[in-house]
Structure 1
């Protein structure tokens, strides 16, 4: 099985990365193929709303986005993670999500759409980190990642929130959160094996 973890943080050894690694623990122990990417390493231009992807699954903007979608196409499971910047995901993650407009089609009207991965049996876990101790201060970070995953047709298995984590590595001290992350990773694998 192929597991793709997409990190919206530019801190490559930061809290989001640690959280994603905890989710990946079960897959690593089972020796599945794992790839963790940092969106900051890719050139992803802003969506222009040109509708050039209408009628296909392909974005017409030529940058690194197509490479990311190829990885997504090949994955059996996807983990989406982002720290909270001003009550939402990072700009790297938001640009990626906006460009994934190409992964939905409107066959009949604008009120109903089909996600590219609908009925593909691809599964997803979402994860978010927030500096503040209250989940309300996370804004829509986790709900945006989760809603997005469902919209493109991924089966959402679980979501993990790490609160009160600012300094790089702070989440290592949050044993309850890390245990929840490992459980989410185990549930993800169980869903794939069904």
Structure 2
């Protein structure tokens, strides 16, 4: 069993990474046989989607960069963690480029009003997580909802979400017992769902 965490933050010891590691830690405690990896999208060369439609008959983006390597990890994974801090009311540019390029993972066999995803019916599961510096939850904007909508549109069920409000200093979220409990609970729930027949 494999779970891959995709982190949209470039702060490798920041709050988004901290939460992602806590989810993975709880997952491994509850399901010791699981293999996990944590990837920072900023470490990969992911170029912008050009809207060329070259992917629409193959599930493969024709832009040759590191995007395909990440997709191969999702292909192999049973579970996914999608995590991002809030930049201007939404996900980071690293996460947004990845999401935009994932247009290649859906196709329109009948019309533009209906689509199918490469992962529909695969049983893949997801946990989403978002961090916002401000204490007003509305300042998180679409960060968490975008990650949840993206997961859904890819045919990957989001089983839990973690929301951290009012955290900027790297690692400060570790002192927030409520957020840490959210992360642990998300990891345990993911383990439970992955382990169920």
With normalisation by structure 1, the TM-score equals 0.98
* 2:21 equivalent in structure 1: 21
**Cα deviation, residue 25, structure 1:** 1.7
**Cα deviation, residue 27, structure 1:** 2.4
* 1:77 equivalent in structure 2: 79
* 1:10 equivalent in structure 2: 10
Deviations along 1:73-98, whole A, 9 cap, x unmatched? 00000000000000000000000000
- How many angstroms apart in 1 are the aligned matches of 2:193 and 2:114? 27
**Cα deviation, residue 191, structure 1:** 1.1
Give unpaired runs (5+ residues) of structure 2: none
**Cα deviation, residue 99, structure 1:** 0.2
* 1:185 equivalent in structure 2: 187
The reply on whether 1:96 has 2:98 as its aligned counterpart is yes
SS class of match (1:125): strand
SS class of match (2:128): strand
- How many angstroms apart in 2 are the aligned matches of 1:99 and 1:88? 17
**Cα deviation, residue 173, structure 1:** 1.0
- How many angstroms apart in 1 are the aligned matches of 2:22 and 2:107? 34
Runs of 4+ in 1 over 6 A off after TM superposition: none
Deviations along 1:81-128, whole A, 9 cap, x unmatched? 000000000000000000000010111000111111111000000000
The reply on whether 1:87 has 2:89 as its aligned counterpart is yes
- How many angstroms apart in 2 are the aligned matches of 1:78 and 1:160? 14
Give unpaired runs (5+ residues) of structure 1: none
The reply on whether 1:159 has 2:157 as its aligned counterpart is no
SS class of match (2:112): coil
- How many angstroms apart in 1 are the aligned matches of 2:55 and 2:191? 32
- How many angstroms apart in 1 are the aligned matches of 2:77 and 2:110? 29
**Cα deviation, residue 28, structure 1:** 2.2
**Cα deviation, residue 12, structure 1:** 0.5
Two-structure CA RMSD over aligned residues (Å)? 0.7
1:173 to 167, 172, 175: 175
* 1:49 equivalent in structure 2: 51
- How many angstroms apart in 2 are the aligned matches of 1:76 and 1:26? 16
With normalisation by structure 2, the TM-score equals 0.97
